[in-house]
Structure formats: C-alpha cells, structure tokens
Amino acid sequence: MKHVSYCLHAPEDVDDCLRAFQEQCPPQPSALLVSLFTSWMDEAIVLRVLESVRQAFPKAVVVGSTTAGGICHGALSQGSTILHFQAFETARVQALSLDLAETTLEEGAATLVAASGEQESLVAVELLLACTAASVNAFLDGLRELPSELPVFGGVAGWDEAKRSFVLEGQRILRQGIVALFLTGSELHVQVITSQGWSPLGPCFLITAMTAQNVIAALDEQPAKLVYEKYLDLRSEDFVWDNLLFPLLLERNGHALLRLPLSVTEEGGLVMGAECRTGENVRLAYGDPGEILDASGVLHRDMERFAPQGILLFSCVSRRYFLREAVNHEMLPLQDIAPCDGFFTGGEIARLEDGSVPLLNMTLVAVGFREGAAKCAAAHKPTGAGKNALKGAMKLVRHLAHFIAVTSRELEQANVRLVDMAITDRLTGLYNRGEIENILKKELSNRRTVALPLSAIMLDLDDFKKINDVYGHAVGDQTLQWVGETLRHSTRRGDAAGRWGGEEFFIILPGADVNAAMLVAERIRQGLSKGFALPDGKRVTASLGVAEFLESASYMDFYRRLDAALYRAKHEGKNRVCVAE
C-alpha cells in the first residue's frame, strides 16, 4: 500500500498536491482512500477542494472531518488541511454516511452493524463523528454487536471557537452525522494501539448521581465540583484550561478510562467529555509529561513490531493543549517507523478487549496499516521521544509531577499500614477482636441470601495463666505467636482467624459445615500440641468449641452455642474438641 499526505496551507495548494500524488499513485490500486482533515470551517471552501479531488480521482472514496489541529508527517499542523491518501494493492474500502437529522443514533448503529455483515473479509471499521459527547454513547453502545475481534477506531470532529464541526463523505457534508469506513481484504492487517500516561491522585470517590450520561451531579453524595475545589482549589471559572492537568480516572471492566471535566453546572455538577455511570469509582488524575512520553514510547515499540506501511493518529485536543510544544515528541518517532498522519479530535475511539467501543478522552490512538506479511527491518531507536526531550515549563511540570507521584505513593503505603494496624493483633498478626466481629457479622448477613453453610471455632489455651506465672510473659508471648502461626497454616485462604482476647481465639469458616469444621479444629488441636514445647519440655494444649450457624439464628445465639461448646471442652478434661448441641 501507498500512504502519502500533503499539508494544504491554503485552498489553492490542492492542485499542486493532487498533481504530486498522481505521479506517486500506483497505476491500478485496488482502492484509493482520500481523507481530508481540515481546520477550515467554511463549507464552500471545503467543497471546492473536494471537487478538485473528485476531478483528479473520480473513483476514490473520499471522507473527512474538521479538526482541532492536523497531524502531517508526525507533527502538529495548525490552521491547515491534511490531504491524506491511502492507495491499496489488494484491500477494498467502502464508505457509509449517516445523517443524524434523518436517523437516530440507535438506528444508525443498527444500520452500520447490518452493513458490516455484508462485507466480505472485513478487517476494521473507521469512524468519523460529528455529534456531542453527551449523545454519542447511544451510537457506540450499539457497536458491541459487531464481531468481537473486529478493530474499531476513529475520532470526533474537532471544532473552532464557534463550536462548528462537520464530517464529510464524497461531496456530502454533515454537521450532525457519522461516516464509517469498512476496510476489507485478506491481505490487509490493522493494529490499533492506545496510550494515556495520566496517573491517579488522592482518594477514590463514588459517583452517586448523574443528571445525563456525561454530567456527574454528585460524588460521595456531595456536589461533584467540591472535589476540585477541596483538593485542587479549582473554581468553576478555571475549568476551561486548568483542569487539563487533572481529569478523572475510572476503571471499567479492567480498563482505565480518562474523563475530562469541561464545565460546571449551576448546581455544582461536572460536565464531562465522555459518559460516566452511577456507581463507578473515580479518582483525580494528574498529567506528568515525562510519564506521558514514556507511555507513548511503549506505543512506538509496539507499533514498530507490527511493521506498518502507514500510521493514522487520532489524538485528543486536550492532550495537545497540555503538552504544548512537547506534543510532537510523542508523534515524530512514529514517522521514523512509517508515514504518520491524522488529526486532533474532540474525542477518540478505540475498541477495548471486552468488545465495548467507548468514547475516550486524553488518549492517543495510533492505527497501523499493512498489506501482506510484515517485512523485517533493522531495529532502531526512535529519536525525539522521552522525558529528557522536555524543556522549559514542561520540564518543571515533569519534576513537580514526579514529586507528587513519590509523595502519593508514600502516603498510600502509610495508609495501608494504618489500616493493618487498626484491624490486626500486634502480637500474633491475626485479626483483632473488632475486625473478627465485623467479618463474622458480614458472613452471617451473607448466609441469609447465600445457601452455603457457615461454621466457627472458638479456641482457648489450656492453663495459660500457669505458663505466664511459671515461665514468664516472654514465653507466654511466644506461645501466643505459635498459636497465630498454627492457625494461619491450618486454615484456608477464605477463612478468617483472629485473637478474641487474652488466650482465646476465633476462627470463621465460610462454606464449611459442622463436620468439616470439626476436622479443622482437630487439625489445629494436634498441631498445637506437637510443634511447640515449653522450657521444661511440656506441650501446649488447647480446648476448642465448634458450631455451625443455624438458619434464622441471631449473632448472639450463634456466639452462645460456640461459647457453650468451648465451656464443655474445658470441663470435660481440656485438650479436646466439642461440638455445640
């Protein structure tokens, strides 16, 4: 395939570019795709350019989109139009345009899915959309019906200050519409790779109310804007630019998705750049230019392994605004691999492994194209990428972001230690009484909805006071530590063992009936009596009570039956296991 692009700084440049490509175009391509990525919002000018393309290449498939900046030869090109040619040797291209003035988004998705089923050897679907972030999800949700392994990629049309945007197909311009390209052919290979680079910051928040698919009304039952005011001192009037550093990060089906706040409602809600869902957990995220460039370096290596003949980029306009002069550092290395072009979008599209096709924010989507087998090329180190390429303000931001990352990591580790201290018995390393009671109450509550047995064991060391009196408290502490070690080795991963108090211990056995619990209790009893010897050679023994939770019983009923079983084991001679009646 042949992948060639030209940068038009003025409409009259088109004729020279068309003549230049006519000299390079293969004589009989199987398909010719011409893409127009333009920052010119004047429809009359764009239509004149399209007419010139039609006259020069009447059989070409022509599509396009307005942009928030073009990408030509791996570099940002502002105020221009990118004329992008893909001439295929064996592959085919078919375009489908959907006018949203004539069809709904749901109907449009169904039409696209049906049309894809008519394509022989369908390899990928490219999308160009002119519609709002608030509405596009209704269309993208319907694309789950496409074959699960089919790559889907693309972008939302960029706009100017007047928020004008459109997509085009042939001579048709759509201000509210969708253009889809079906790429087919057994020799065609398409690789879609994404890169983000933003890092989580601070605590987790729950989305507790939404007023639209892209408007978060409340986080943790509070107006959503308060998160930005409290943690970042960002006010409503700051959101146009300052929040580029701090999108929200959520995890959905194992995938990290960035969501950029665009504005604040009068009620304190956050208008996001893509849809969110009630019940999802989100965190603030911060942009570290060094990490962003490092992440794009991974994308470069993965793309080089694919060995493309051409690369198409869809990059978020907010990513461009954040990285500023450093934005070319993550794109130019791709030009070293293969001709690289594209545009900055109002939202990126890339299908995830779970089959969903979400609208993305703050993401770089790179699409590699190749016909035939990959040709082995000498490995090279792309130039210009990496955190060392940063200069000026971006270098300062990188160092501050590194400071935030280190201090945040240390704080999280300290919080983990504090949580462990709050629920753990210091001497034995088992749960303390408060936590074991919480676990027991939770398990008892679960039993009322889950038809599985639940049993527990209460353990009391025999004559422990004599151990302290005769051998000293140091030996007593060693004895308790031995009990903790024995319980950890005698229980399953899902069981919970804790120190109830003094020399008493409590073991919760989810899913175990009374017979299984008796076996565990006997294993514990024997393990204690065999492995640890007191200074004079005597062995440590314990008495154990076992009970299974009975349906409709209360927490106190269950505890009384366990305590009674332990009391009986003590008074029937100690060093034994007794089952509750």
> Which residues are known to be catalytic?
503
Measured between alpha carbons, how far is 350 from 151 in angstroms, rounded to an integer? 8
CA 235 to chain centre: 27
10: which residues sit within 8 A by CB, 6+ positions away?
A: none
Which residues, at least 6 apart from 547, have a Cβ–Cβ distance to it below 8 Å? 455, 456, 514, 517, 558, 561, 562, 565, 579, 580
Could you say which DSSP state residue 186 is in? T
The separation between the first and the last C-alpha atoms of the chain, rounded to the nearest angstrom, is 81
CA distances 524 to 429, 508, 575, Å, are 17, 13, 11
Question: CA 508 from chain center: how many Å?
Answer: 35
Mark out the alpha helices in 117-250 (DSSP H runs).
Answer: 133-142, 225-232
222 token code pair: 């509070």
SS in 3 state form for 385-437?
A: CCHHHCCHHHHHHHHHHHHHHHHHHHHHHHHHHHHHHHHECCCCCCECHHHHH
State which amino acid sits at residue 52. Answer: S
Helix (H) or strand (E) holding 471: helix 464-471
Report the alpha-carbon distance of residue 397 to residue 224 in Å, rounded: 26
Strands 167-169, 152-156: pairing is unpaired
Query: Count of H helices and E strands in the chain?
Result: 14, 31
Inter-helix orientation angle 43-56/14-24, to 10°:
30
The three state secondary structure string of 497-529 is EEEEECCEEEEEEECCCHHHHHHHHHHHHHHHH
Closest CA to 34 of 82, 85, 71: 85
Residue with tokens 């969501």: 259
Of 304, 311, 316, give the one whose Cα is nearest residue 343: 316
Pinpoint the alpha helices (H) of 57-125.
Answer: 105-116
